[in-house]
């Protein structure tokens, strides 16, 4: 699947009521596409209260939004419970 074909499922995962966790391929695309990361940060700011964010997806975008982070965190694929403030 090409990168543009992965973008729709990435946004569906954070806009669908089931809150699906991103696949490894989707996470890799997010890591490598700065424009997509920027759009996800905006989406997070505008849609967090709709409760569709899976905790792992929220953590990835939250960590990307932190001012001190210039690249994807090393613990991207580690399991850690994350609280979403909604």
pLDDT tens figures, 13-33 = 888 777 789 999 999 999 899
Q: Which residue has the tokens 């997509």?
A: 36
Which of 32, 64, 24 minimizes the C-alpha distance to 45?
A: 64
The mean per-residue pLDDT over the stretch 59-71 comes to: 69
| pLDDT of 67 over the 90 cut | no
Is this prediction's pTM over 0.75?
no
For residue 52, the tally of other CB atoms under 10 A from its CB is 19
| pLDDT of 80 over the 50 cut | yes
Give the per-residue pLDDT at 35.
93
Give the per-residue pLDDT at 83.
63
């Amino acid at each position: 699947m090409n990168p543009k074909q992965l973008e729709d499922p990435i946004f569906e995962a954070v806009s669908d009521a089931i809150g699906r966790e991103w696949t490894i391929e989707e996470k890799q695309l997010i890591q490598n596409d700065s424009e997509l990361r920027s759009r996800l940060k905006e989406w997070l700011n505008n849609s967090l209260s709709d409760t569709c964010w899976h905790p792992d997806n929220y953590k990835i975008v939250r960590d990307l939004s932190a001012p001190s982070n210039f690249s994807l965190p090393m613990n991207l694929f580690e399991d850690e419970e994350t609280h979403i403030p909604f």
